[in-house]
Amino acid sequence: MVCDFCEKKASVFLTQLVEGQMKKVCLCESCAKERGVTDPTGFSLADMIIGGVPGHKAVVTQTHTTPPGGAKQCPACGFTLEDLRRVRRFGCSECYRTFSEELTGILRGMHKGGVHVGKVPKGLMEQQVRDQRLEELRTRLDQAVTSENYEEAAGLRDEIRQIEIHTGITG
Partner 1 sequence: MRFSTLIKYPADWMTGSNADNSVVLTSRIRLARNLRNEPFPGWATREQRAATLAELRPAVEALPSMKDGFSQELSDLNSVQKQVLVERHLISREHAARGDGSAAVIERRQMFSLMLNEEDHLRMQAIRPGLDLRDAYDGLSQLDDELAQSLPYAFDPKLGYLTTCPTNLGTGLRASAMLHLPGLVLSDQIGQVLQAVNKIGLAVRGLYGEGTESLGNLYQISNQSTLGESEDTIIRRLERVISQVAQHERNAREKLLEDDPDMVMDKIGRAYGVLRHAWVIDSKEALNHVSLLRLGADLGFFEAGTMRLSDALLMDIQPAHLQLHSGRKLSAEERDAIRAEIIRSRLHSLSPPDIRPITRNGDSPNTPEPSGDA
Q: Minimum CB separation from partner 1 for residue 15, in Å?
A: 19
**Residue 81 or 83: which CB sits closer to partner 1?**
83
* By the rule CB under 8 A, 133 interacts with partner 1: no
Q: Sort 38 into a burial class: Cβ within 10 Å, 0-12 / 13-18 / 19+.
A: exposed
* By the rule CB under 8 A, 1 interacts with partner 1: no
- Binding string, 79-118, against partner 1, x = CB under 8 A? x---x---xxxxxxxx-x------x--xx--xxxxxxxxx
* By the rule CB under 8 A, 2 interacts with partner 1: no
Burial 98-131 (b: 16+ CB within 10 A, else e): bbeeebeeeeeeeeeeeeeeeeeeeeeeeeeeee
Bridge partner list, 60:
none
Q: What is the DSSP letter of 6?
A: T
Q: Residues for the chain: how many in total?
A: 171
Which residues of this protein are in contact with partner 1, per CB under 8 A? 6, 47-48, 51-60, 76-77, 79, 83, 87-94, 96, 103, 106-107, 110-124, 128
